[in-house]
Amino acid sequence: MSQPETQSEIVLCVNPAVDNQTLNDLFAASWPRHRPYDFRRELEHALVYVCAYAGERLIGYVKVAWDGGVHGFLLDPTVHPDYRRRGLGTALVAEARRQAAAHDLEWLHVDYDSELDEFYRQCGFVPTLAGLIRLRE
């Protein structure tokens, strides 16, 4: 395996054309329980999504869904394991945050597991109480 590229060779792109296979490859490498998924509908309805590329290779992704008003929801921040711990996740979230603000959103929400608390605090999120109901098993 070759040495991953440096941060300076990584490019963030907003709403690029990206296909299912490319996204599924990234998610399969990043999330052990990932199953092939059709991302097209989500991408069509997302307010914005940001992809990180090292050359032609997709190595990071995040999207912002929204309520049609002032609330955005940060979803699926994903960084390929070969590129973690270099600030790429933070850069993806920062760009998603900038894009959400540029679309006049007032709030950006995120749900996360407790082990990610420090990461999201470093990204500027403030913990709040929230509720959740699982609709499907």
Q: Which residues pair with 54 in a beta bridge?
A: 10, 57
pLDDT at 89: 97
Tens-digit pLDDT profile for residues 7-45: 559 999 999 999 999 999 999 999 999 999 999 999 999
Tens-digit pLDDT profile for residues 84-113: 999 999 999 999 999 999 999 999 999 999
User: In the chain, what are the domain boundaries?
Assistant: 9-122
Q: Which residues pair with 71 in a beta bridge?
A: 107
pLDDT at 3: 46
Pick the more confident residue, 47 or 1: 47
Terminal-to-terminal C-alpha distance of the chain: 38
Which CATH code fits 9-122? Answer: 3.40.630.30
pLDDT at 8: 58
- How far, in Å, CA of 68 to CA of 118, rounded? 29
